[in-house]
């Protein structure tokens, strides 16, 4: 549902074609969603069938024609519906990535530290990436800030965890 919401939200600002939409999402929202091209095209087709958007073709020289989409009235209503639902509800954020934490005891401490450091590195990278995103007016900026806060909190927590494991390791190794 959220992919549809993004497309509608962007189209609510201005008409855009599929490639453009995908491109914008990839370069400005990559930290919170990964929308594949084929999914974007598929979704736009679906929205058109449902009457939420309409197409107009734009020819640019010899290139494949751009299919520029715009919201219909029905689309605007649908957009508001999805937006309200999204804002009002908290979908237990899929923390797939953290599940392994529950089973940390099943890898030895050196390995654990090294694996978690790799993870740390990636989160750090993600955080850096959010800094490359150009500034946007209005609420869009909130999303980016939210992501930054989240990533920073993840990083802090990970640091503490790694410290704990290192200390445990010292204790265990001096005891044996």
Partner DNA sequence: TTTTCCATGTAACTCGTTACATGATTTC
Partner DNA sequence: GAAATCATGTAACGAGTTACATGGAAAA
Query: How far is it, in rounded angstroms, from Cα 73 to Cα 103?
Result: 50
Beta-bridged to residue 168, according to DSSP, are none
Query: How far is it, in rounded angstroms, from Cα 73 to Cα 102?
Result: 48
Could you say which residues in the range 34-53 bind DNA, by CB under 7 A?
Answer: 34-39, 41-45
Q: How many chain residues interact with DNA (CB under 7 A)?
A: 28
**Inter-residue contact 110 to 169 (CB < 8 Å):** yes
Tokens of 25: 């999402």
Please, what is the minimum distance in Å from the beta carbon of residue 64 to a second copy? 29
Q: Which is nearer to DNA, 50 or 163 (CB)?
A: 50
Determine if 33 is a binding residue for a second copy (CB under 8 A). yes
Please, what is the minimum distance in Å from the beta carbon of residue 17 to DNA? 4
Residue 11 interacts, among DNA, a second copy, none and using kind-specific CB cut-offs from 5 to 8 Å, with none
Beta-bridged to residue 52, according to DSSP, are none
Query: What is the pairing mode between strands 53-58 and 16-17?
Result: unpaired
Q: Which is nearer to DNA, 94 or 131 (CB)?
A: 94
Tokens of 104: 């940390």
Beta-bridged to residue 58, according to DSSP, are 66
Determine if 73 is a binding residue for a second copy (CB under 8 A). no
Determine if 116 is a binding residue for a second copy (CB under 8 A). yes
Residue 132 interacts, among a second copy, DNA, none and using kind-specific CB cut-offs from 5 to 8 Å, with none
With CB under 8 A as the contact rule, the residue among 49, 92, 131, 132 that binds a second copy is 92
Determine if 106 is a binding residue for a second copy (CB under 8 A). yes
**Inter-residue contact 43 to 3 (CB < 8 Å):** yes
């Amino acid at each position: 549902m959220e992919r549809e919401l993004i497309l509608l939200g962007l189209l609510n600002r201005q008409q855009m074609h599929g490639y453009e939409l995908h491109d914008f999402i990839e370069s400005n929202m990559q930290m919170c969603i990964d929308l594949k091209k084929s999914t974007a095209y598929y979704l736009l087709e679906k929205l058109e069938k449902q009457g939420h958007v309409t197409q107009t073709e734009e020819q640019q020289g010899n290139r494949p024609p751009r299919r520029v989409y715009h919201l219909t009235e029905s689309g605007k209503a649908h957009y508001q519906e999805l937006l309200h639902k999204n804002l009002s509800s908290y979908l237990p954020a899929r923390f797939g990535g953290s599940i392994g934490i529950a089973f940390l005891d099943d890898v030895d401490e050196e390995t654990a530290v090294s694996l978690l450091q790799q993870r740390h590195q990636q989160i750090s990278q993600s955080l850096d990436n959010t800094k490359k995103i150009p500034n946007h007016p209005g609420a869009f900026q909130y999303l980016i800030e939210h992501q930054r806060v989240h990533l920073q909190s993840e990083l802090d927590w990970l640091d503490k965890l790694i410290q704990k494991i290192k200390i445990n390791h010292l204790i265990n190794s001096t005891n044996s």
